[in-house]
Amino acid sequence: MKHSTLHLPAGRWPTVLDCLCAHFPAIGREVWLDRFARHRVLDEQGQPLRADHPYREGLRVRYFREVPDEARIPFEEQVLFQDEHLLVVDKPHFLPVVPAGSYVRETLLNRLVERFDNPQLVPLHRLDRLTAGLVLFSCNPQTRDAYQALFRQQRIVKRYEAMAPPLPRLNFPVLRQTHLEQGEPFFRMQEGDGKPNSETRIEVLEPCGEHWRYALYPVTGRKHQLRLHMAGLGAAILNDPLYPSLSAAPEDHTRPLQLLARSLSFQDPLNGQARTFTSCLTLQ
């Protein structure tokens, strides 16, 4: 599991323990004492700190987040490709890519770090926890920036698939360009009146039945962009608990969000080779 890092803020605490207790009031002193005892609080060199280590402003402290009784997410990732630079994985629905909130051990990153014994793994992009499909990881810090540049410079073609209600009155393909901003509650986004900062091309793959199958090509990568753009057109993605309105129903693993990161295509920045990776997963 990867550590988190805190540069101790200004204050008058006598010890590192006292500072941590004040900085993280939701975590009890006895919990921190247990972490110190188990060598889960380290200095910048990765050496265990004592609970009575003197406080110093700016001291870099590494610690490991823990969630008591964290539930196992009952879905498995599938490795599709691996070389010395890249790891390509099919992420299942409901599994977060990186630690957040109540998910610490049960993340795609943590599973892969433990599986391959490679703490250098870093995701090159993110998927929502509820979205399934392709995630690219960098295995090698020496070549990481070359692959990150593909996303920064929009030199990678991302294709998603989604199941959503029919939109028979629209002429496809549709180019959706809107301004996305933080909504309420804090974990939702919304479309606002500002200058467009998000763009998605939307095509129809199967225009039949109660729900159509769509191909979504995001040009930008804003949080919840595809979900908002489909909801904004009046065709919210099937089983979306956030859009167009917030659902109060408990999470149901039998009803996954019908959104899949289907393929990624790009020219490899190291050797110029054209690469396309395709998910083996399917929507219901």
Domain boundary among 154, 187, 203: 154
Mean pLDDT of 222-244: 97
Q: What is residue 64's predicted lDDT score, i.e. its pLDDT? A: 83
The CATH number for 202's domain is 3.30.2350.10
Please give the pLDDT value at position 66.
78
**Per residue in 113-130, pLDDT tens?**
999 999 899 999 989 999
**How much is the pLDDT for 15?**
97
Residue from 183, 197, 198, 177 nearest 242 by CA:
183
Residues 243 and 183 in one domain: yes
User: Is 80 exceeded by the pLDDT of residue 94?
Assistant: yes
Q: For residue 37, is pLDDT > 70?
A: yes
Q: Can you give the pLDDT at residue 229?
A: 98
What's residue 1's pLDDT? 64
Same structural domain, 9 and 87: no
Pick the range with the lowest mean pLDDT from 24-38, 94-108, 134-148. Answer: 94-108
pLDDT of residue 10: 93
Q: Which of 28-42, 65-79, 260-274 reaches the highest mean pLDDT?
A: 260-274
Whether the predicted pLDDT of 245 surpasses 80: yes
142 & 171 share domain: no
Q: Is residue 279 part of a domain?
A: no
pTM over the 0.85 mark: no
Instruction: Determine the Cα–Cα distance for residues 130 and 260; give it in Å rounded to an integer.
Output: 9
Q: What is the tally of structural domains in the chain?
A: 3
Neighbours of 3 (CB within 10 A): 15
Judge whether 246 lies within some domain: yes
On the question of pLDDT at 100 being above 70, the answer is: yes
Looking at residue 68, what is its pLDDT? 72
**Does 269 fall in a domain?**
no
Q: Which residue has the tokens 């099919």?
A: 90
Q: What is the CATH number of the domain that holds 18?
A: 3.10.290.10
Lowest mean pLDDT: which of 87-91, 167-171, 206-210, 263-267? 206-210
| Domain co-membership, 41 together with 113 | no
Residues 24 and 54 in one domain: yes
3-state SS string for 108-173: HHHHHHHHHCCCCCEECCCCCCCCEEEEEEECCCCCHHHHHHHHHCCCEEEEEEEEECCCCCCCCC
Assigned domain for 276 exists: no
Mark whether 99 and 46 lie in a shared domain.
Answer: no
* Residues above pLDDT 70, as percent of the chain: 99
Instruction: Note whether 148 and 164 are same-domain residues.
Output: no
Are 50 and 122 found together in one domain?
A: no
Residues 145 and 189 in one domain: no
Question: What per-residue confidence (pLDDT) applies to 8?
Answer: 95
Residue 148 sits in the same domain as residue 171:
no
Backbone phi, then psi, for 8, in 5-degree steps?
A: -60, 130
Domain residues for the domain of 31 are 4-63
Is 187 in the same domain as 253?
A: yes
Asked if residue 147 and residue 214 are part of one domain, the reply reads no
pLDDT over 80 at 140, yes or no: yes
